[in-house]
Structure 1
Amino acid sequence: MDPQTIQRRRWYVLGVLTVSLLVVVLDNTILNVALKTIADPHEGLGATQSQLEWSINSYTLVFAGLLFTFGVLGDRLGRKRVLLGGMVIFAIASLASAYAQSPAQLIWARALMGLGGAAVMPQTLSIITNVFEPKERPRAIALWAGAVGLGVAIGPITGGLLLAHFWWGSVFLINVPVIIAGAAAIVFLVPESRNPERGGLDPVGVLLSIIGLVAVSYGIIRGGDKGAWGAVDVLVPIGLGALVLAAFVWHEARTEHPAFDVRLFRDPRLSASVAAIALCFFAAGGVFFFSNFYMQSVRGLSPLQSGAMVMPFAVAQLVFSPRSASMVRRFGAKAVCTVGLLAVTGALVGYQFLDVHTPLWVLGVIFFVQGAGMANVMPPATEAVMSALPREKAGAGSALNNTARQVAVALGVAVLGSVISSIYRSDLREKLAGLPAAARDVVGQSIAGAHQAGAVSSEARALIAPADEAFVHAVHVAAGAAALIALFSALVVLRWMPGRSAVEDEPAAGSPAASGDGEAEPAQGSQETATV
């Protein structure tokens, strides 16, 4: 495909890539609204709280562990080729998830889905970086980042609509026709590109990262389940995981072809931007996990109603994400990111005003402010990461950006979910003593379990109100912790992200054009292969 054709089709290419991205992002947020249904032993799989957390984390940990490898594979084998392969894997895993017969099968199918998502995600951003000139790239990346936020928001309403008419597996089955249409569009519209300097792979680094992250997450989730953070089976996996992750960092700093190039963090703009993305999504990932239980269990909303409650977040993303590039040009990335993170902090503080009877419009306002804040964090931070690297390393930059986000979401769900579980169980411990052992375990496990037990047992029914109060108290503590993390992220950006002049000057000096490539698309001429 010649450079002129690529230029004419660049916005169509962006549309196709955005659809591919939406499928990957949408799936996680669709699952959030289906968690209560999957936990139901009659309508779903009877999954426990920890199994529900693993159904999310099996995806995100595999996704995060392989993102950098697939970014390198795309640079090496061809980004379009790897993108199509990832879409096929994602479709197969979606079918397996839809027809899972047990929580264990769902967890493994979700892990396979993470493999496909890891192949898709970095290619979308690296292709955008290669198709768009530096002057148009911020706007394109803003639209790409807006798709991430939009997927977070429209997933719940889509899931709610599906659950209102079909069984829980439909939230995964919906991916298949979308993937088929998207793959067909990719074949005809998306150009092929690759890095002419082929790098090696790093299987040791990939293995260390997955083992370390899984061990830490297991220990954290186990601690929340047991409510005993000093237990051996909690401390050992966390400690082992921390040691493995330390070995991973040591290995990555010394290997010739790292799976996750920690040396890139020597650039303060890149490291501050990645920190902003990671800390923001750490806070947001955990909050979205437990807010669905608040809406569906404590407030009694249906999946469709709880999905509709998240629409203000989607509106904020649609309004503010496309405008973030112009805001950065006017005020600088540091100012825009800092204000965005402060808005996220304010939204998380707003959870302190929620109780079992708070008007639902308050939650809608919180979602809107959170969406507006994140819409002004992701685009400038992502552009800062991508512009800090030469174009031929776009896959590595994309993977770095997305790895930070996915690891943060996984740890956010694990940490904040465990905080919720621990406080909920601690508040109810004395009140559970009078229940039969079976009912005591169900009610003490989660707020969803308390409402399920209350529907069939008069003794458990008397504990529904205390269980709601205990869960709301746990939400206050977890959201307060998330707010502190978001505030810390704002301080990191304020301290280390360069201001407007640096952001404006750096791309001009560090762009592919300045490194001797000439004009952006002709520079890719040796890398593009005809597809139509």
Structure 2
Amino acid sequence: MNGSVTVFSTPREVAVTTASTSLSRSHIWLLTLSSMAVALVIAAMAALYTALPEIAADTGATQQQLTWVVDGYTLALACLVLFSGALGDRYGRRIMMVLGLVVFAVASAIPLFLEEPAWIIASRAVAGVGAALVMPSTLSLLTGGFPPERRGVAVGLWAGVVSGGAVLGILGSGLLLQIWSWQAIFLAMTVAGAVFAVAGCTVPESVDEQRPPLDFWGGITASTAVGAVVVAAIEAPIRGWTDPLVLGLFGTGIVAAVGFAGVELRVPHPLLDVRLFADRGFGSGSVSVAVQFLVAFGYFLLFVQFMQLIFGYSPLMSAVAMAPMIAPLIGISIFAPRLAERFGLRLPTFVGLLCVGIALILVSRTTVDSSYIDVLWPLLILSTGLGLCTAPATAAIINGTPPEKHGVASAVNDAAREVGAAIGIAVSGSILAVGYADRIAPALPALPEAARGPVEDSLAAALEVTEKAGPAAAPLADFAKEAFVHGAQQASLALGILTVVMAFVLGAWAPGRITGRTSSAGEAPVLVDR
């Protein structure tokens, strides 16, 4: 099996070679390895959330440096994933996955020897480059290696793992922090990357046999567009949404996106044929994926802080509290593509996003006195909604492109996720910060000058101040918690309203059930969108 090549054949040849729809051991192994590899690179996005306080204490990293420890990875991944998908199509998806895992493992090992903040940030950025090679390769290996009759289940499981990967990362890092230091997280990522790289050599190669020339100008303009938007989203909560740099970055992203579209419409072998977005399945699926990750990562930011600062949970317990969402998320994702095949993309997209939106609106009613059960059942509704709409959206993106371009289609799916996640964190964080600052403001004049800044900055800093001040500061701690909950309520409500609105928009845009109708005797069937 090692060294074999999967190419793309005519429909008649595919029908012959996939006559047997039962999965072989090689198919099961390919699905397992692809899912584990993508789970690793997604988990790495969120794995350091719970370790940032320890990293700051051990290395002296500033708040801005801590931000880039997390976001440097996301930025590199988002900028390069589209071009990486094209590299996989041309040179081979397996070799790109293995190469990406090697780069990821080597980069993750750097903080084990060099603990300075600059080195940690650099290592995370390089690991993001490796992750950009891995993500589109895993999905395109599945779509190229699985028979069409079984492809929906494979894509569904892959999409479920992607959506649950961030939770797995938070859970795993919380467990490691209980038994060792923050460096254990980097060691675990190094070992896992190395093991998966070796295992990746055992799966068959998949490549576009035509090997079209690479569209470098398309890659440059796409990376510039995505990078500018992501950096703007990262800097907006710190500098403000009207800061000249933030506005300039958003403007640069828009101009680069227009330039990308112009390039792709003119070159003979485009990196991404932008006309694909006119296809209702491809276009609505791409936007749906972006919205899903926008609200999911925006909510994760609120949830983890709520568990630790309001409920007083440890990093591990915060991750355990989020873990129940994995079961409905992955379980529903497995059969959700079949629902889309039967009823069309419209129904699972609308119902799924509507569930997510309702869950977030319910979360906005959470108070300081709420219990974990009050938070748990909206979390399960949210994960059910994501399970319904995630896999069908991914399948629609893949199905909207020819097989030889599945690497690029996978990259579009991944880029939509990363941009959505970055914007979701920025929007959620900004609304939370504004809401907290507005409510805490009346308490500031009565505080000593040295305490005003930390109390105004965040609840975490305010609790540190009140802990040092002793029992007399307990009313201030309670007031700060109420201010945080107010900001979290506003952020959840904004995310919920956005999701409900997008549920109706995408419900109208996404295609319904496709049926065959014969217009007259002897003529080919006509596809009708219902």
For this structure pair, what is the TM-score category when the shorter chain's length is used for normalisation?
A: 0.7 to 0.9
Query: What amino acid is aligned across from residue 204 of structure 2 in structure 1?
Result: P
Once the two structures are TM-superposed, the CA of residue 31 in structure 1 deviates from its matched residue by 2.3
Question: Paired residue for 2:160?
Answer: 146
**Change in CA separation of 1:504 and 1:83 when aligned onto 2, cut-off 3 Å:** farther
Question: Paired residue for 1:32?
Answer: 49
**The one of 417, 439, 462 aligned to 1:427:** 439
Given the alignment of the two structures, is residue 65 of structure 1 paired with residue 82 of structure 2, yes or no? no
Secondary structure of 1:195's counterpart equals coil
Once the two structures are TM-superposed, the CA of residue 132 in structure 1 deviates from its matched residue by 0.9
Question: Paired residue for 1:466?
Answer: 479
**The one of 74, 99, 102 aligned to 2:88:** 74
Question: Paired residue for 2:188?
Answer: 174
Question: Paired residue for 2:376?
Answer: 364
- Looking at structure 2, the residues matched to 502 and 52 of structure 1 have their Cα atoms a distance apart, in angstroms, of 52
**The one of 375, 384, 392 aligned to 2:396:** 384
> What are the within-5 Å matches in structure 2 for residues 37-436 of structure 1?
37-38=54-55, 41-42=56-57, 45-48=60-63, 50-97=64-111, 101-188=115-202, 190-226=203-239, 228-436=240-448
Alignment TM-score, normalising by the size of structure 2: 0.87
**Change in CA separation of 1:105 and 1:424 when aligned onto 2, cut-off 3 Å:** farther
- Looking at structure 1, the residues matched to 501 and 54 of structure 2 have their Cα atoms a distance apart, in angstroms, of 35
Q: Which has the higher contact order (CA 8 A, sep 6+)?
A: 1
Given the alignment of the two structures, is residue 19 of structure 1 paired with residue 31 of structure 2, yes or no? no
Secondary structure of 1:409's counterpart equals helix
Contact 2:73 2:125 in 1 (8 A): yes
**Change in CA separation of 1:151 and 1:502 when aligned onto 2, cut-off 3 Å:** farther
- Looking at structure 1, the residues matched to 269 and 292 of structure 2 have their Cα atoms a distance apart, in angstroms, of 29
Query: What amino acid is aligned across from residue 504 of structure 2 in structure 1?
Result: L
Question: Paired residue for 2:508?
Answer: 495
- Looking at structure 1, the residues matched to 99 and 175 of structure 2 have their Cα atoms a distance apart, in angstroms, of 29
Deviations 1:457-497 (A, max 9, x none): 45976532222222211111111121122223312331122
**Change in CA separation of 1:204 and 1:298 when aligned onto 2, cut-off 3 Å:** farther
Once the two structures are TM-superposed, the CA of residue 243 in structure 1 deviates from its matched residue by 3.4
Given the alignment of the two structures, is residue 442 of structure 1 paired with residue 454 of structure 2, yes or no? yes
Q: Structure 2 stretches of 5 or more lacking a match?
A: 7-16, 519-523
- Looking at structure 2, the residues matched to 222 and 95 of structure 1 have their Cα atoms a distance apart, in angstroms, of 28
Contact 1:53 1:414 in 2 (8 A): no
- Looking at structure 1, the residues matched to 373 and 394 of structure 2 have their Cα atoms a distance apart, in angstroms, of 32
Secondary structure of 2:47's counterpart equals helix
**Change in CA separation of 1:214 and 1:103 when aligned onto 2, cut-off 3 Å:** farther
Secondary structure of 2:468's counterpart equals coil
- Looking at structure 2, the residues matched to 338 and 233 of structure 1 have their Cα atoms a distance apart, in angstroms, of 36
Given the alignment of the two structures, is residue 451 of structure 1 paired with residue 460 of structure 2, yes or no? no
Name the stretch that deviates more: 422-431 or 107-116.
422-431
| RMSD between superposed Cα atoms in Å | 2.9
Secondary structure of 2:444's counterpart equals helix
Secondary structure of 1:323's counterpart equals helix
- Looking at structure 2, the residues matched to 215 and 179 of structure 1 have their Cα atoms a distance apart, in angstroms, of 29
- Looking at structure 2, the residues matched to 443 and 207 of structure 1 have their Cα atoms a distance apart, in angstroms, of 43
Contact 1:337 1:376 in 2 (8 A): yes
Q: Structure 1 stretches of 5 or more lacking a match?
A: 511-532
Question: Paired residue for 2:488?
Answer: 475
**Change in CA separation of 1:502 and 1:57 when aligned onto 2, cut-off 3 Å:** farther
Query: What amino acid is aligned across from residue 42 of structure 1 in structure 2?
Result: A
Contact 1:76 1:198 in 2 (8 A): yes
Contact 1:224 1:422 in 2 (8 A): no
Once the two structures are TM-superposed, the CA of residue 367 in structure 1 deviates from its matched residue by 1.8
Once the two structures are TM-superposed, the CA of residue 400 in structure 1 deviates from its matched residue by 1.0
Contact 2:341 2:513 in 1 (8 A): yes
- Looking at structure 2, the residues matched to 327 and 44 of structure 1 have their Cα atoms a distance apart, in angstroms, of 50
Secondary structure of 2:201's counterpart equals helix
Deviations 1:374-417 (A, max 9, x none): 11111111111111212111101111111111111111112222
Contact 1:221 1:417 in 2 (8 A): no
**Change in CA separation of 1:281 and 1:369 when aligned onto 2, cut-off 3 Å:** same
- Looking at structure 1, the residues matched to 456 and 118 of structure 2 have their Cα atoms a distance apart, in angstroms, of 22
- Looking at structure 1, the residues matched to 236 and 160 of structure 2 have their Cα atoms a distance apart, in angstroms, of 35
Contact 2:233 2:422 in 1 (8 A): no
Contact 1:61 1:210 in 2 (8 A): no
Query: What amino acid is aligned across from residue 46 of structure 2 in structure 1?
Result: T
- Looking at structure 1, the residues matched to 186 and 525 of structure 2 have their Cα atoms a distance apart, in angstroms, of 45
Once the two structures are TM-superposed, the CA of residue 163 in structure 1 deviates from its matched residue by 1.1
Count the aligned residue pairs: 503
Once the two structures are TM-superposed, the CA of residue 325 in structure 1 deviates from its matched residue by 3.2
Alignment TM-score, normalising by the size of structure 1: 0.86
Name the stretch that deviates more: 258-267 or 62-71.
258-267
- Looking at structure 2, the residues matched to 47 and 460 of structure 1 have their Cα atoms a distance apart, in angstroms, of 27
Query: What amino acid is aligned across from residue 452 of structure 2 in structure 1?
Result: R
Once the two structures are TM-superposed, the CA of residue 93 in structure 1 deviates from its matched residue by 2.0
Contact 1:286 1:417 in 2 (8 A): yes
- Looking at structure 2, the residues matched to 357 and 85 of structure 1 have their Cα atoms a distance apart, in angstroms, of 50
Contact 1:281 1:405 in 2 (8 A): yes
Question: Paired residue for 1:530?
Answer: none
Question: Paired residue for 2:13?
Answer: none
Secondary structure of 1:357's counterpart equals coil
Once the two structures are TM-superposed, the CA of residue 92 in structure 1 deviates from its matched residue by 1.5
Calculate percent identity across the aligned residue pairs: 33
Contact 1:443 1:450 in 2 (8 A): yes
Query: What amino acid is aligned across from residue 182 of structure 2 in structure 1?
Result: W
Once the two structures are TM-superposed, the CA of residue 97 in structure 1 deviates from its matched residue by 4.6
Once the two structures are TM-superposed, the CA of residue 100 in structure 1 deviates from its matched residue by 5.8
